Structure 1
Amino acid sequence: MQTKIGQLPQELVDLIVVHLSLQDRQALRLASKQLYALTFTTFSNTYFSRRVTTLGVPSLSRLVQLSAHPNLSGCVYLIDIKLLNYEDYGNLREIDRVGIYPPPKRLQRVPQVKIGDISQECKLLDYMRTHKDPKAVVHPLSRALKGFRNVKTIRFRVNGLTLYGNPYISAEDEVYQYFLSACFTAVLDAIIRSGVRLQEFTLIKNTTIRPLSKSANLDYSAFNLPIPFMFSLKSAFTFLKSLRLSIRTHHNGNSRVAGWEKGVAQVIATASSLEKLTICLQATDSKPWFRAAVIQSICRSVQLPMLKSLQLYGCVVDELDLIALIKTHTSSLRRLLISDTELRSGAWSSILNTFKEDLDLDLLRLQYLQQNTAPRVVRWFPDHIRNSSKLNIDARKIRDQYWMKERLSQAISSLAATAEEHEISEI
């Protein structure tokens, strides 16, 4: 017998079911075959569109099983690869050594790992460090990606790490950074082998970057990949529209091989169809010239004809290099966001003039900028005005490019006035 809710149109059923808890949805889906079919779309989109996984054997096995499901596999759009941090692996090893499940209260639990998975999950750190060809990770991950025919985004991040980490490298940090780099290469290898048509690859959790943003924060050496691997990656990134990178440049100090700074630019160049690019560097390191070298390589070598949105965070850049990057993408660039960035040579006022003359921007956001010329800290408005270090011009609200240029002229004049006030106060 058909129920009253079963007589409703699919659209109304979706509107009702979306407000139910997981337990209520499960009960409703078991009521009849008709309700099971009617609620399948909202249920699968809510609970299966994003899958979180580590690279441990148990987690990858579950991912492979889901990818083989005839109905649910097509609902997955985002694969969130969330690695444990170094402390987590230490806690897992201690629990595994004791061998009591559930573990005693004196041992620190790792909520992301099921009790039955601890023994195998804790071995991933050592496995990735000792195997140059980690087949136990690459093969199941690539097999899962093949099964997820609609996956569009892969997010690679770390549990609990932030952009503002300790700038000094200890032995443990070095071990963990090697592990992160090996996992990053394994994920790229799986993407290549699977033939998946990704539209977004990101190392950052959220769309907005803040000091406490969770990210993988990879060492620069992770991007120095072999040339044959780069060619394969170029084919795999053919359809990539968004790339968001979080990078540490201070690791190893001055012990670097020639051309170390070019790896990041070469990886970016493999995605020739990019429309959105985010480059996030760790803004607290004690050697900003390494950040400058990476950005200089990107500015001088990367050409992305379809680039619409560019976001720079924690960077160090020269005026001429930034202008060169902007002029290369004049015809396509519409959104520009620069935050916590230092201008090593030149002045931000000159760069704003370039923005006004050469770009037709829809959105310009500048915040917490510095420069070597006076005044060092850039303030767009007098100090007593709230958020004086932030400049946000959004022409999309009124759809008027002329208004954007007028606001840029006002910002340049305001910046010149604050600089003049700074010079007077110093005298």
Structure 2
Amino acid sequence: MTSKIERLPQELVDLIVVHLPLQDRQTLRLASRQLSSLTLTTFSNAYFSRRVTTLGVPSLSRLVQTSAHLHFSGCVSILDVKLLNYEDYGNLREIDRVGIYPPPKRLQRVPQIKIGDVSQECNLLDYMRTHRDPKAVIHPLARALKGFRNVKTIRLRVNGLTLYGNPYISAEDEVYQSFMSACFKAVLDAIIRSGVRLQEFTLIKGSTIRPLSKSANLDYSALNLPSPFLLSLKTAFASLKSLRLSIRTYHNGNSRTAGWENGVPQVIAAASSLEELTICLQASDSKPWFRVAVMHAVCCSVKLPMLKSLQLYGCVVDELDLVSLVKTHASSLQHLLISDAELRSGAWLSVLNTFKDDLDLIYLRLQYLQQNATPRVIRWFANDARSLSKLTIDARKIRDEYWMKERLSHAISSLAATVEELEISEI
């Protein structure tokens, strides 16, 4: 006999089951074939639109199984590749060495790793570092991506601190950095082999960057890719709309090959249809000239005709380079955010005048800016304590096309008055 809920229209069933927890949904789906069919769409969208995987064999095997499912595979739109940090791998090795499952309480467990997967997961670190062509990672990941016909976003993340260093990833820790670089290249290789057309690729968690942010902070050398690989990447990134990179420029000191700084702009240039670009450079280094070199290469060579949003974090840049970058994209740029940045030469006052004269922005945010010129630290609107270190102008809230230029003029006048006052006081 058909139950009352089975006689309800699909739309009403969807409204009911969307409020049920996972266990109740599973129980309901087991009640009958009709209910299983009625709740399949909402169940799939809720629990299969985003998949999370490590690059370990057990996790990739489950991912391949999902990609082979007739219905679930088409629901996946976001794939999170989560790398364990160096401490996690140390904990897994200790558990594997003891060989007691579940492990004794004195051992630190890694929450996202199942007990039965410990041995294979802890071997991933050494495997990625010792194999130039890690087929055990690339092939299953490519197979899974090929099955996820509607995947649009891939996020590569690791527990770390984006702007201000990482307690588990130090500049001297070449073991983990080589592992991260190998994982990054393996993921790109899988994307190329699968033929998937992504719209977003990110190394950063969330829409905005905070000091405590779980992101994959890649060493600059990971982006120094050979020319044939870059050509293949250009095809794979042909539909990419959003690219977000977090990069460490100070690793390995002065031991660098000529042209090392060109890897970052070459990867960016592979995505010629980008509308959103985020570049985050580690701000905890003692050698900011490496960040200057990367930004110079980006500003001189990157040309993205469809770029609408540009976000720069932790950058050290010359005024002429920054002005050149924004002028190159003046016809399309609408959203600009610059944070924790320093002008090595020039002054932010001149940069702001360029923004006012040459850009037609609808959103501008400047925060925690410094310069070598006077004043060293930029303060906005000194009579407003809340706005000392941050300037935000959002013309969308006002719906007035002149609001941006009026607010910019106000900020320029305030900053000019501050500079003049400091110069007089020094005399």
Which residue of the partner structure matches residue 223 of structure 1?
A: 223
Which residue of the partner structure matches residue 272 of structure 2?
A: 272
Gap change, CA 1:293 and 1:30, over 3 Å in 2 = same
- Once the two structures are superposed, the pairs formed by residues 364-403 of structure 1 within 5 Å of their partners are 364-382=364-382, 385-403=385-403
2:278·2:311 contact (CA, 8 Å) conserved in 1? yes
2:299 is the counterpart of 1:299: yes
Which residue of the partner structure matches residue 4 of structure 1?
A: 4
Q: CA deviation at 1:355?
A: 1.0
Q: CA deviation at 1:425?
A: 4.7
- Once the two structures are superposed, the pairs formed by residues 109-120 of structure 1 within 5 Å of their partners are 109-120=109-120
Query: After the TM superposition, which of the residue ranges 396-405 and 212-221 deviates more from structure 2?
Result: 396-405
Q: CA deviation at 1:166?
A: 5.2
Q: CA deviation at 1:9?
A: 3.2
2:162·2:209 contact (CA, 8 Å) conserved in 1? no
Gap change, CA 1:242 and 1:170, over 3 Å in 2 = closer
- Once the two structures are superposed, the pairs formed by residues 137-216 of structure 1 within 5 Å of their partners are 137-165=137-165, 173-216=173-216
Q: CA deviation at 1:162?
A: 4.1
Report SS of the residue matched to 1:375.
Answer: coil
Which residue of the partner structure matches residue 125 of structure 2?
A: 125
Instruction: Tell me how far apart the structure 2 counterparts of residues 322 and 301 of structure 1 sit (CA, whole Å).
Output: 12
Gap change, CA 1:425 and 1:384, over 3 Å in 2 = farther
Query: After the TM superposition, which of the residue ranges 220-229 and 344-353 deviates more from structure 2?
Result: 344-353
2:56 is the counterpart of 1:50: no
Instruction: Tell me how far apart the structure 2 counterparts of residues 277 and 106 of structure 1 sit (CA, whole Å).
Output: 44
Query: After the TM superposition, which of the residue ranges 264-273 and 155-164 deviates more from structure 2?
Result: 155-164
Which residue of the partner structure matches residue 96 of structure 1?
A: 96
Q: CA deviation at 1:161?
A: 4.6
The C-alpha deviation readout for 1:254-309, integer Å capped at 9, x for no partner, is 11110000000000000000000000011111111101110110000000000000
Instruction: Tell me how far apart the structure 2 counterparts of residues 148 and 261 of structure 1 sit (CA, whole Å).
Output: 35
TM score, norm. by length of structure 2: 0.97
Instruction: Tell me how far apart the structure 2 counterparts of residues 34 and 166 of structure 1 sit (CA, whole Å).
Output: 51
Q: CA deviation at 1:373?
A: 0.7
Report SS of the residue matched to 2:306.
Answer: coil
Which residue of the partner structure matches residue 136 of structure 1?
A: 136
Which residue of the partner structure matches residue 86 of structure 1?
A: 86
Query: After the TM superposition, which of the residue ranges 152-161 and 45-54 deviates more from structure 2?
Result: 152-161
Taking only aligned residues, the RMSD between alpha carbons, in angstroms, comes to 1.6
Instruction: Tell me how far apart the structure 2 counterparts of residues 172 and 391 of structure 1 sit (CA, whole Å).
Output: 37
Counterpart residue identity of residue 72, structure 2: L
1:91·1:110 contact (CA, 8 Å) conserved in 2? yes
The C-alpha deviation readout for 1:227-273, integer Å capped at 9, x for no partner, is 10000000000000000000000001111110000000000000000
Which residue of the partner structure matches residue 412 of structure 1?
A: 412
Counterpart residue identity of residue 208, structure 2: T
Which residue of the partner structure matches residue 30 of structure 1?
A: 30
Which residue of the partner structure matches residue 311 of structure 1?
A: 311
Counterpart residue identity of residue 234, structure 2: K
1:327·1:358 contact (CA, 8 Å) conserved in 2? yes
Q: CA deviation at 1:167?
A: 9.6
Report SS of the residue matched to 1:108.
Answer: coil
Report SS of the residue matched to 1:330.
Answer: coil
Report SS of the residue matched to 1:24.
Answer: helix
2:172·2:251 contact (CA, 8 Å) conserved in 1? no
Instruction: Tell me how far apart the structure 1 counterparts of residues 7 and 168 of structure 2 sit (CA, whole Å).
Output: 65
Counterpart residue identity of residue 84, structure 1: L
Report SS of the residue matched to 2:415.
Answer: helix
Q: CA deviation at 1:398?
A: 2.6
TM score, norm. by length of structure 1: 0.97
Which residue of the partner structure matches residue 353 of structure 1?
A: 353
Gap change, CA 1:94 and 1:147, over 3 Å in 2 = same
Counterpart residue identity of residue 279, structure 1: I
The C-alpha deviation readout for 1:310-338, integer Å capped at 9, x for no partner, is 00000011111111111111111110011
Gap change, CA 1:346 and 1:172, over 3 Å in 2 = closer
Report % sequence identity: 82
Query: After the TM superposition, which of the residue ranges 116-125 and 412-421 deviates more from structure 2?
Result: 412-421
How many residues in Structure 1 have an aligned counterpart in Structure 2?
A: 427
Which residue of the partner structure matches residue 242 of structure 1?
A: 242
1:246·1:279 contact (CA, 8 Å) conserved in 2? yes
2:68 is the counterpart of 1:68: yes
Report SS of the residue matched to 1:13.
Answer: helix
2:316·2:341 contact (CA, 8 Å) conserved in 1? yes
Q: Structure 2: state its 5+ residue gaps.
A: none
1:169·1:251 contact (CA, 8 Å) conserved in 2? no
Counterpart residue identity of residue 207, structure 1: S
Report SS of the residue matched to 1:47.
Answer: helix
2:265·2:302 contact (CA, 8 Å) conserved in 1? yes
Instruction: Tell me how far apart the structure 2 counterparts of residues 20 and 12 of structure 1 sit (CA, whole Å).
Output: 14
Gap change, CA 1:31 and 1:326, over 3 Å in 2 = same
Which residue of the partner structure matches residue 333 of structure 1?
A: 333
